[in-house]
Chains A and B, each alone.
Chain A
Amino acid sequence: MQKKLILDANLLDITISRLCQQLIENHGTFDHSVILGLQPRGVYLAELIQQRLLELCRKKIPLGYLDITFYRDDFRRREINKASELRIPFSLENKRVILIDDVLFTGRTVRAALDAMLAFGRPAKVELLVLIDRRYNRDLPIAPDYTGKAVNTMASQKVLVELQAQGFKQNKIWLISNP
């Protein structure tokens, strides 16, 4: 197994700051904006972004947790992980939604997320923010609006995100290849 570091703690910090600046450029005062973190791992990133935006513009943007387990398109076709908590304590009607996940790979999770989201109202606009965009691996026509880092990967490789919020010692993001 080969492990290559894509982002270390320092670079990740800079990346998150940049993503937040880009969000501020587009959302201004965030009056009608909400953040949705994708369960299970996107929520850690969503919390980091919410915290950083709070520091930058002194505003706490509403954060929801979206679980897509029951909206997947591969149920009964492969093993499926247990569902996580779904908590969206606000309506999405006419909101500008920032959908956040850690890694964008085939795009199927995002497809399911768009489907799941509609149960909470019709948003005015939906944007996608990802930390790692695995280029050339998409199964569906889905592209991120905000990208932390784009990497060229093969389908056999894996991206491993280790965040302090998940219990790791240091924030690190790895690319793992099995020979």
Chain B
Amino acid sequence: MSQLSQSHLLGIRNLTTRDIELIFETADNFKSIINQPIKKVPSLRDVTVANVFFENSTRTRISFELAEKRLSADVVNFSASSSSVKKGETLLDTVNNILAMKVDMVVMRHASPGAPHFLARHIKANVINAGDGTHEHPTQALLDAYSIREKLGSVAGKKVALIGDILHSRVALSNIFALQKLGAEVMVCGPPTLLPRYVRELGVRIELSVRKALEWCDVANVLRIQLERQQLKYFPSLREYTLYYGINLQMLNSLNKRITLMHPGPINRGVELSSDAADSPHSIILDQVENGVAIRMAVLYLLANRQV
């Protein structure tokens, strides 16, 4: 039978390799469905999903909402900026109030690492982590790995470099877990101040030179400089960062092989990635976005079938 081992998606860390493969196989089916003339299936017609976003988001939120609607779920949206959170309500109270209105699944983004884990322990609904602080962002890692599998045939044995702000990136941590579970080799690359101290213990390679990282890898996943999370000065200026760690088309063309370029978005054009590189044939950034809907449909569908 085909079921996930979990009834929540809190992080890639909790998933088995079999779970990830099941999500990919299910996403294959949904990808063909979202390319059909009528893109909607009735699977989740008796399920209500709350999208609870305590942090800003465009892509993830639209992607989740589309995925829910294509599965025929009822959707309620909640964002912290326009809610009673401003009046001092606690996280648990907020969510319990939403659940009292008979909601079956909660998709949550929160600035505090572990917030979805806390929620999953206290409420009777499937919880999907849509990003918790600098901790994990599981659906992003799944769609990244899925896009690599689609482009290169498989993830196993591939060399993937994560380049940029590793310290503040939940995408980086989830990617490391997902890629390793699927048998890829992972490298992190960035200025020493933006590499977490204990990242070596996760069994990844560390590289300070972006040039060497590009020469080594099959896939470069470029991460955004998260200025909003940086309370200290980690590098002298954005210009200097671009000079040493920015990737442009000229660099990609000067390699003696063709690599695949990814970015989880939003791109700071001209900072970590130049426009000519982002829009080049190396880039699969827009494929990532399309795959995001299929992956999220698969996750929602598989979790809806799990009792809490």
Q: Contact string, B22-61, partner A, CB cutoff 8 A, digits 1/0?
A: 1001100100110011111111101100000000000000
Cβ contact within 8 Å between A70 and B301: yes
Q: Tell me if B82 is interfacial: C-beta within 8 Å of chain A.
A: no
A86 at the interface (CB under 8 A from B): yes
Closest to B25 in A: A82
Query: Contacts A76-B46, A76-B304, A76-B305 given: A119-B38 contact, CB under 8 Å?
Result: yes
| Extra 13 A-B pairs, beta carbons < 8 Å, given A83-B29, A86-B32 | A69-B29, A70-B41, A72-B43, A75-B304, A75-B305, A76-B304, A79-B3, A80-B2, A82-B26, A85-B29, A85-B32, A86-B29, A86-B36
A28 proximal to B (CB < 8 A): no
Residue B101 lies at the interface, judged by CB distance under 8 Å to chain A: no
Cβ–Cβ contact B37 & A121, under 8 A: yes
Q: For B42, give its contact among A70, A84, A86, A88 (CB under 8 Å).
A: A70
B45, closest chain A residue (CB): A75
Q: Known contacts A70-B33, A118-B38; is A75 also within 8 Å of B1 by CB?
A: no
A interface secondary structure, majority = loop
For residue A139, give the distance in angstroms from its CB to the closest CB of chain B: 18
5 A–B contacts from the bound complex (CB under 8 Å): A70-B29, A70-B43, A81-B1, A82-B26, A85-B29
Most chain A beta-carbon contacts within 10 A, residue among B32, B47, B71, B304: B32
Alpha-carbon gap, A118 to B42, bound state (A): 12
A84 CB contacts on chain B under 8 angstroms: 29
CB distance from A79 to the nearest CB of B (A): 5
Give Cα A72 to B305, complex, Å. 13
Contact of A83 among B26, B36, B47 (CB under 8 A): B26
Assembly CA distance A120 to B40 (angstroms): 11
Instruction: For chain A, residues 82 to 133, give those with C-beta under 8 angstroms from any C-beta of chain B.
Output: 82-88, 91, 115-116, 118-121
Decide if A71 is an interface residue (CB 8 Å cutoff): yes
In Å, the complex CA distance between A121 and B43 comes to 20
Alpha-carbon distance between A69 and B43 when the two chains are bound, in angstroms: 9
Given A81-B1, A81-B2; A119-B37 close (CB under 8 Å): yes
With A86-B29, A119-B38, A120-B37 known as contacts, the answer to whether A79 contacts B304 (CB < 8 A) is no
B67 to chain A, nearest CB (A): 13
Kindly provide the distance from the CB of B283 to the nearest chain A CB, expressed in whole angstroms.
29
Also in contact, A86 and B1, with CB within 8 A (given A70-B43, A75-B305): no
Chain A residues contacting B36 (CB-CB under 8 Å) are 86, 88, 119-120
A69 to B42, CA, bound (A): 10
> Given A82-B2, A119-B36 in contact, is the A67-B29 Cβ separation under 8 Å?
yes
Which residues of chain B are near A82, meaning CB under 8 Å? Answer: 2, 22, 25-26
| Residue from B25, B33, B44 with most neighbouring chain A CB atoms (10 Å) | B33
**Interface centre among B22, B25, B47, B301, by most A CB within 10 Å?**
B301
CB neighbours (8 Å) of A118 from chain B are: 38
List 10 tightest A-B contacts by C-beta distance, closest first: A119-B38, A70-B41, A82-B2, A83-B29, A70-B43, A119-B36, A79-B1, A75-B43, A86-B32, A76-B305
Whether A115 contacts B29 in the complex (CB less than 8 A), given A81-B1, A120-B37, comes out as: no
A120 to B25, CA, bound (A): 22
Please name all residues of chain B whose beta carbon is closer than 8 Å to the beta carbon of A85 when the two chains form the complex.
29, 32
Q: Which residues on B sit within 8 Å (CB–CB) of A71?
A: 41-43
- B38 (CB) vs chain A CBs: closest residue: A119
Q: Give every chain A residue within 8 A of B2 (Cβ-Cβ).
A: 80-82
A70-B29, A70-B33, A82-B2 given as contacts; is B305 within 8 A of A115 (CB)? Answer: no
Q: Which residue of A lies closest to B304 (CB)?
A: A76
Cβ proximity bits B284-308 to A, threshold 8 Å, 1 near / 0 not: 0000000000000000010011000
A80, B301: Cα distance in complex, Å: 11
- Complex Cα distance A116/B42, Å? 9
Q: For B38, what are the chain A residues with a Cβ–Cβ distance below 8 Å?
A: 118-120
